[in-house]
Structure formats: C-alpha cells, structure tokens
A and B are shown apart, each in its own frame.
Chain A
Amino acid sequence: NAGVTQTPKFRVLKTGQSMTLLCAQDMNHEYMYWYRQDPGMGLRLIHYSVGEGTTAKGEVPDGYNVSRLKKQNFLLGLESAAPSQTSVYFCASRELARGYTFGSGTRLTVV
C-alpha cells in the first residue's frame, strides 16, 4: 500500500531556478491537493484538483502552477523559485466526505 508518494524528498534550489514536485496516488482518489507548511502558519492550500484535467487555486497560489493530466498524478511547478518558497510541501488525496491521505512531504530550500 503505497498511498501517496512524493518525489523528491529534499531539494535545494537557487533563486530563479525552476522545478517540479511530483505527487502520485494509487487509491483512485478524485481529489488531490498541494499544501505548504511553515512554522507558525499551519497548512496552507496552494492548489487543488477535483478530477483529472481540472485544477483550482487555493489560498496561496502565487508563484506556483499545477497540472493533473492523469488521475493518479498531481504536479506542482515552481517557475522561478524565491527564498519565500522555502517550505515543506505536502500532497494529499481523498474521496469526498472522507479524510485526507498525505504524502511524507518534500523539504525545499531556496537559497
């Protein structure tokens, strides 16, 4: 039971570089989410998807883009990384009216 798998687990970027975080789930869930977690700020929703081919903005979407080309995958892109994007990023999936299943996170540092 893999659940939700995030890659990579750690990454260091230089300001201005780009990267893509990959989230894969094997539970056939419709809904997928990207959150960032920062000290004192809690979990903040970046983008989410309610099905293959659909995406929507969360509360902190600026500087990020997402794609859901396949039901099982949800990609988070940073086009031009900034130090303010240093954070721990969590992907989650769920079926409606059920709890989230989270990945183990990606720790990103932008220098």
Chain B
Amino acid sequence: TQLLEQSPQFLSIQEGENLTVYCNSSSVFSSLQWYRQEPGEGPVLLVTVVTGGEVKKLKRLTFQFGDARKDSSLHITAAQTGDTGLYLCAGVIRGSGGSNYKLTFGKGTLLTVNP
C-alpha cells in the first residue's frame, strides 16, 4: 500500500502555463516536504509545511498543506523549462514513534515543460 499518492504521475505542458500537482494520503502527517529531482541528481528540498492549512510561496511555486494534514498541493505559475523535473512529496506520519526518523516518499510527478 502506497501511503502517499501523487497525481498526476506524468505532466507535459507548454512554457507559460500554470499547473497543480497533488499529494494525498489517508494518514495524518506531522510535517510534509516537497523535493525536486533533476535527471542524474539527487532530490533537493523545496519546502517543509507543518501546520494544517499552511501556505508557503517560493517565487512562482505555491505549496499548501491540507487542513487535516492528509494532503498537499504544489501550484506552479507561468511554468518555465527550468521547472522540468520529478516532484516528490514526503512526510512524517503523525504518532509513528520511531518512524519519526524516516520520511515516507510518494512516487513523484514527472513534469516536462516544453519551450
């Protein structure tokens, strides 16, 4: 069972378009993180959200944590070719005891922004 479901799995858009990708779970998360991974590289942390309903902005990227802390979304405004990559969400399940040490990762959304 995949604890974190990301959708869509693949997304191909034109430069300048807006997009939203989603991360959903039936579990409550203490915190949730978003990473971007470029080909041949390791994932790089973009943001951490910890409070239900929290919204964080990173230039053209807007991250939202659901009120119930079971889901999150990433919205990109006016996408650029440099946004191309694999977007991963990862979270710490609330009340998981020793599992606080490790994150659970979704399988990711592979975004391609075409010029």
Contact = CB atoms under 8 A, between A and B. Distances in A.
A binds B: yes
Contacts of A4: 42
A4 B42 CA distance: 10
Contact of A42 (B33, B42, B45, B106): B106
Given A99-B45, A103-B42, A43 B101 contact: no
A105 B41 contact: yes
Interface in A35-66: 40-43, 45, 48, 50, 58
A92 B107 CA distance: 17
A96 B42 contact: no
B97 interface: no
Nearest to B92: A97
Which of A58, A92, A100 has its CB near the most chain B CB atoms (within 10 A)?
A100
Interface residues of B, number: 20
Contact-residue size bin, chain A (C-beta under 8 Å from the other chain): 20 to 34
B101 A42 contact: no
Contacts of A104: 40-42
A31 B103 CA distance: 12
A103 B42 CA distance: 6
Contacts of A42: 88, 105-108
A101 B101 CA distance: 14
Interface of A: 4, 31, 33, 40-43, 45, 48, 50, 58, 90, 92, 96-105
